[in-house]
Amino acid sequence: MDQIMLYINTNVSLAPYIIFGLLLLAGFNIPISEDVMLFTSAILAAKNPEYLYPLFFAVFLGAYFSDLICYGFIGRYLGPKIFGIKFFASMVTQERLDTVNAFFKKYGVFTLIFGRFVPFGFRNALFLSAGLGKMNAWKFALSDLIAATISCVVYFTVYYKFGEAAIEYIKKSNYVIGSVALAVILGFAIKKWKKKRVTN
């Protein structure tokens, strides 16, 4: 991966195509960081303003289509079969799937918007859960388009304007967002458990 990143940084004209392709692979749950691609594309754009739009649209469309692959191919097409594949089974348990589906039903598009800002591999689990839960395809595509637009514009702009100085702030915000997400999920799970106890 380091050699690929070096090649991207030394071949700016090809960078948009490589970044787009790598993000598509991420949709198949190959460990390629969307955050790293956003940072790389923004830094390259700051150094090479003539490639600003190709680099932004490469990372934006790559991220969006990656989500659709994870949702459509792995979630909806492969479906429950993935629970038999160790690579995926550890990422999405039935309990997590039920929790995410409950969030989708209750909060809709806001689940995806918030989820795109949550680090630590939460995004793919979210998209995979949406596919496994048979969330309406058009609803997912439109909701995720809004979510991807917001997150990509925010992160790309921050990295473009502040460069490496923004990394530490993003890392700190990731821990805060991750903690909030964990607290929300735990609160939701406890509430669900209490409700189940009462009904039983």
Mean pLDDT per block of 10 residues along the chain (200 residues) reads 82 94 89 88 94 96 94 82 66 67 74 73 76 84 90 91 75 53 54 59
Q: Which long-range contacts (CB under 8 A, 24 or more apart) does 165-172 make?
A: 167/39, 170/35
pLDDT value for 103? 73
Instruction: Count, in order, helices (H) and strands (E) of the chain.
Output: 10, 0
* 111 and 188 Cβ atoms separated by less than 8 Å: no
pLDDT value for 55? 96
C-alpha 21, offset from chain centre: 16
DSSP helix/strand/coil, 31 = coil
Instruction: Please report, as a single letter, which amino acid is at residue 37.
Output: M
pLDDT value for 198? 59
Residue that the structure tokens 């191919």 belong to: 73
Token pair in block for residue 108? 């809709």
The CB density around residue 128, as the number of other CB atoms within 10 Å, is 24
pLDDT value for 197? 61
Domain ranges of the chain: 2-199
Please tell me the pTM assigned to this model. 0.79
pLDDT value for 172? 58
